[in-house]
Amino acid sequence: MQTNFAPELLENPDMRESETILRTCVHCGFCTATCPTYLLLGDELDSPRGRIYLMKDMLENGKPASGQVVTHIDRCLSCLSCMTTCPSGVHYMHLVDHARAHIEETYQRPWHDRLMRSLLSAILPYPGRFRLALFGAYLGKPFKGVAKALPKVGPRMGAMLDLAPGRLPTRSAQEGPGVFAAQGEERGRVAILQGCAQTVLDPGINEATIRLLNRHGITVTQVAGEGCCGALVHHMGRTEESHDFARRNIDVWIREIEENGLDAIIITASGCGTTIKDYGHMFREDAEYAEKAARVSALAKDITEYLETLTLEPTGEADKLTVAYHSACSMQHGQQIREAPKKLLKKAGFKVKDVPESHICCGSAGTYNIMQPEIAEQLRARKVGNIERTRPDIIATGNIGCMTQIGKGTEIPIVHTAELLDWATGGPRPQALE
C-alpha cells in the first residue's frame, strides 16, 4: 500500500511505525475471511482491510478522527485473527493501537460514551473498586430490566449486570504480596501476575497455579506493588494511563529480578500476557525504560509455556474426561500459543477436543462485551454452539474474560487450564466442577 505521510508527521515514532505497517498491506483481503465483525456484519469497513483504509486516510493526513472512523474502529475486537491469517505480516495490533490513541486525542465522544469509558477505566484496573462495584451489581441484578431501558447507556448497563457473577466471589487468603515456597528441592523461582479483574472474579485460578508450581519444585512470589498490566485502558486508547500501569509493574519486577532473581514472570490471563510481552515495544523509544521493559517482556510466560519446561506428574484422577479447549484470541493470535495447552491437558489424562471455528472470537475482548453488547452476544452464541457440538464434560481456556463471556451462555462448566492441570496432578477438584 502506497502512503503519503508528510515528513513532519514521521518525526513521531508511532507515526513512523504506522507508515511502515501500512506499506506492508497488499490489499489481498485474506483477513476478511477470519474477521468476526466482517463475518457478522458483511461491511467492508468492519473488516481489517476496510479499517486499514480508514486509518491510513486519517493518520497520513493528520486528520482528527471522524464519527465514521470511530464507529468502525470501536467495532474491532482486537482479536488479531487477521494477523494470523495475513500472508504479508501486517502488524495490525500496533496499527489499531495507534489509531485508538489518535481517536482519544482528536475526537469528542458523546457524553454517554465518555461516561462508560471513564467508569470502566476508573473501576476495572483496581481490585478494591472492582470488588465494590460487583457488590453493587449483585444488588442491582433484580433491576436489570430498568437499567436496560435507560436512554443511551441502557444496553451497556444491562450488559454489565448480565456479566456480573450471580454470587460474590470470596477474597483469596493468598491475596497480596507473599512468597510460596517450593515443595522439596527448589528447581526454579518465578513471579506471578496477580493483576486486577481476575484476582477478584476468580482467585482460584492463581491459587491453583501456585499449588501446581509449588508441587513441582517452583517457588512463587507475588511482588509488592504490582497491579493491572494496563491492557484494559490501553485498548481504549488511553496511552498515558496504560504506560503508567506498565512502568509500575516494570519497576517492581526489575527490583525483584535484581534482588532475588526470577526465571519467569508467570501470567494466567492471556490478555494480560499479550500486553506484557509487548512492554519492550511500548517503551522502545524511552531511554529510561527501554532496556528494563525488554527484560520484563523476555521473562513473561503464559503458565502453559512455563509448564512445558517441567515434567508434570498426573495422578489419573482426571482420566477420560472430555475437554473442549477454547483457545483465547490473545493466546492463539496475540501470543501464537496454540498447541502447548492441549498437549499438557492430553498428557494429564484428559480427552481434548478442538472447537469448530476456533479462530473466531467469543466476543469478550476486554471490555468489548460491555461496549458492543449486541455484537458480543452474537459471537457468544456462535462460540457456545460450536463448543456444545463437541459434547464435552468441561470447557478449558486460559483467559478470565473468555471464561466469563462463554460461561454466561452454557451450562457446561468452564475452567482455567491451570486448574485442570492442578487437579490432574494432585490438587483439589476445581470448584466449578463441584
Sheet holding 188-192, edge to edge: 178-180, 218-222, 188-192, 264-267, 300-302
pLDDT > 80? residue 319: no
Q: What is the pLDDT of residues 39-94, one digit of tens each?
A: 999 999 999 999 999 999 999 999 999 999 999 999 999 999 999 999 999 999 99
Q: What is the pLDDT of residue 2?
A: 84
Distance CA 253, CA 292 (A): 9
Q: Tens digit of pLDDT for each residue in 182-231?
A: 999 999 999 999 999 999 999 999 999 999 999 999 999 999 999 999 99
State the pLDDT confidence band at 1, using cuts at 50, 70 and 90: confident
Neighbours of 428 (CB within 10 A): 13
Alpha carbons within 13 angstroms on the beta-carbon side of residue 84 total: 20
| Predicted pLDDT at 348 | 95
Q: What is the mean pLDDT of the chain?
A: 95
pLDDT at 171 over 80: yes
- Over residues 111-133, the mean pLDDT reads 96
pTM of the entire structure? 0.95
d(CA 276, CA 332): 16
Sign of torsion, CA 111 367 159 203? negative
User: Over 90: is that where the pLDDT of 144 sits?
Assistant: no
pLDDT in tens, 365-402: 999 999 999 999 999 999 999 999 999 999 999 999 99
The pLDDT assigned to 306 comes to 98
Question: What's the mean pLDDT in 350-362?
Answer: 97
Q: What distance lies between CA 290 and its chain's CA centroid?
A: 23
Upper half-sphere CA count for residue 239 (Cβ side, 13 Å): 14
What is the rounded average pLDDT of the residues 339-354?
96
What pLDDT, on the 0 to 100 scale, is given for residue 402?
A: 98
Whether the CB-CB separation of 15 and 5 falls below 8 Å is answered with yes
Question: Beta partners for 222?
Answer: 178
CB of 96 closer than 8 Å to CB of 78: yes
The pLDDT, as a whole number, for residue 434 is 81
The pLDDT of residue 169 is: 83
* Cβ neighbours around 410 below 10 Å, total: 16
* Residue 347: its H or E element: helix 340-347
> What pLDDT score does 316 carry?
85
Q: How many CB atoms neighbour CB 56 within 10 A?
A: 23
Distance CA 328, CA 198 (A): 15
